[in-house]
Amino acid sequence: MASSYVLLHVFGTIRDELDRADRGKRTYSGWLREFVSDTPQKLTEIARLVDLLSEQGWKVVGSPYDCDLMLERSVVREVAEQELRRAEVWDRLVKVASPDDDGQTVWREHPEGKPRGPRRRRRVRRPPTREQGS
């Protein structure tokens, strides 16, 4: 069965937020004060969403990105979206999720392509030591 993924944009970088802020209308210092005061509410909302998603069978897995939190569930995207809408989580999720390239909130594939297993280490032959001879 295929897995679906959700990436939650947890804190982002200041530069991302600056790019989104409407430039010219506010000073950056004013924007930063507003951003910092807004952050605790955002983090509380994200924590609540993670609880709700966990109750729906999603599990938190490592994210390929520094500023995102990734959840995974073994269900196709269409079913995942329907279940999230039925659970009345969808509108809240859309506000904090990082969409895929098609603008979808629920990712059909792992953001980095297929998740890889642990890398195998190549065995390297070392030259013989002086005691072993050549």
Q: How far is CA 8 from the centre of its chain?
A: 5
Q: Which of 109, 12, 114, 18 is nearest to 69 (CA)?
A: 12
CB 97 within 8 A of CB 7: yes
* Residues near 28 by beta carbon (within 8 Å), at least 6 away in sequence: 18, 21
CB 98 within 8 A of CB 9: yes
pTM above 0.85, yes or no: no
pLDDT digits (tens, 9 = 90+) for 41-85: 888 888 999 999 999 999 998 777 766 789 999 999 999 999 999
In this predicted structure, what is the pLDDT of residue 80?
A: 94
